[in-house]
Each structure stands twice: as C-alpha cells, then as structure tokens.
Amino acid sequence: MTARTTPQTTGTPTWLDFWCSDIDATRTFWIDLLDYTIPEGTPEFGGYTVAQKDDRYVFGIGPAMPEAHHDEAAMYFATDDIDATLARIPELGGRVVMERTEIPDTGAMAVAVDPAGVMFAPWQAGGTVGYGAVDEPGFPCWQDCITSNIEKSSTFYGELFGFTFEPMGPGGVVLAKLGDDGHFTVGQCPDQGEPHWVTYLLVDDVDAMTTKAAGLGASVDTQPTDLPFGRFAHLSTPGGAPFGLFTGNDEQGS
C-alpha cells in the first residue's frame, strides 16, 4: 500500500516543489511528459499549482526564489515540530533562508541549506500530508542528495532527523535509514557541479521517457543507467530544475 493519508514520521521525504521563472511553461512540460492534471495557479499564491494523478497530489509548481539563477527543485522533509527543527539547523552548521511560513489549511514550511550547500525544506503537515502516494507510476519513489561534502551532509541530516548511514557504493556513497527503512542516498557532486536533491519519479520505461523529456526541452544529465534493482536517468527541466526517472525490475525491494 503506497497511498499516504496521514502525516509522515519526522525525517521522511514527503514533498517536492519545482520553483520556476515560468510556471506556465513548466506546467505544460509536465502535462506533456507524464499526462498529469495540473490546474492553472492562482494569483493569491504567486501562481502556485499542484500536479495530480488520479486525483492525488504528486508535486507543486511555484514561483522562483529571489535571485535564483535557474529553476530549482525543493525536497521537503516531514517534521512534527517545525520550530524545533529550525532552531536546530544553525546549531548543526546549516542556514535557514526562509523562516516558518504558514500555508492556510495545509501546513507550515520553511527553506534551509545544509552545511555543504544543499537546499531542503522542512514541512509540518496540517491539512496536506505531502505526496498522495509513493512507489506508483508517476509518483516519487526515491531521493538522492548530491552534495559537495558527503560527510558534512550526512552528519547534518543524521543529527537533525535521526538518520543512520551505511556504505552504499563506490565514491563514498551512503544510504540514509530511519530504523530499517532506507530513504535516500548521499553522493558526491561532480566537480564544478551545484549541490542539489534529485527526486525520482517512477515510470514504466525510463529510456522512452528520457527520450520524450529531451524532445520536450529537458536536459539529460545522466543517460539511462542500469542498477542491480532497476534503471535510472538524471535530467533537468527546460528551466534547469533537476529530477530523476526510475524503472524498477524484479530485484527491486521495498
């Protein structure tokens, strides 16, 4: 069962936003790529809107952050006490860039940067818990933290949200776990690359969808690549926000 109807445990990746200079163009890209239902945004919220599949929330599309050089993808962590989370961030070497903001009838959010420069957002659920589902076609299924310093980022998220880490692969990649459940990996950013989160969307055919995305103006940052449990690709939207596509195989676990 992958539907989500209740607030998630603190530390669980729970939501994704694309913050864009052209909301309408980004909305069109995602409708054309994955056939989401995405209503036009309302001026009261800067044009913010939400992609939906089968009447369930997938991710948000909203206005760009001030001084952003390109579109960005913001990955949200659940918290049951956003004020306590924000108080801890500077103590652990991070930086809060947008203080607690109430979203009426929905929840409370903030924006921060970890000590290695990776942006993330805490989310305290109110009326909206986050993704309507995970691990279903069209919905998020995994996250990668691409950082300039694996040790700094992993230590930070461990102390802030209680993750433990274990080696995952070459290059020092580590797996973040809450109890027995893996939630994301932390890996090294390429030279001259920009630290960021990548959220993967589950698709039936990663090769076909990567080709389709490129035809719609996306950049393919990593061509479809095999893993023991599936196949993935890294891309950026036409506006420059990172995202991933993933197709599992019979070896894919929970």
The 3 state secondary structure assigned to 150-189 is: HHHHHHHHHHHHCCEEEECCHHHCEEEEECCEEEEEEEEC
Give the β-pairing of 181-188 and 140-147: parallel
Q: Percent of the chain having pLDDT more than 90? A: 85
Of all residues in the chain, the percent with pLDDT exceeding 70 is 98
220, pLDDT greater than 70: yes
pLDDT at position 124 over 90 = yes
What number of CA atoms fall less than 13 Å from residue 236's CA on the CB side? 14
Quick one: pLDDT band at residue 251, thresholds 50, 70, 90? low
Average pLDDT for 187-191:
91
Q: What is the per-residue pLDDT for 254?
A: 39
Tell me the average pLDDT of the chain. 94
Taken as a whole, the chain contains a residue count of 254
Q: What is the pLDDT of residue 253?
A: 45
- Mean pLDDT confidence for 173-187: 96
Helix, strand or coil, per DSSP, at residue 26 = helix
pLDDT reported for residue 50: 97
Whether 150 shows a pLDDT value over 90: the answer reads yes
Cα–Cα nearest to 75, from 7, 8, 16, 161? 16
Q: Give the helix/strand (H/E) hosting 226.
A: strand 219-227
pLDDT tens digit sequence for 190-200 = 887 899 999 99
Structure tokens at 43: 């001026």
Question: What pLDDT, on a 0 to 100 scale, did the predictor assign at position 142?
Answer: 96
d(CA 135, CA 33): 18
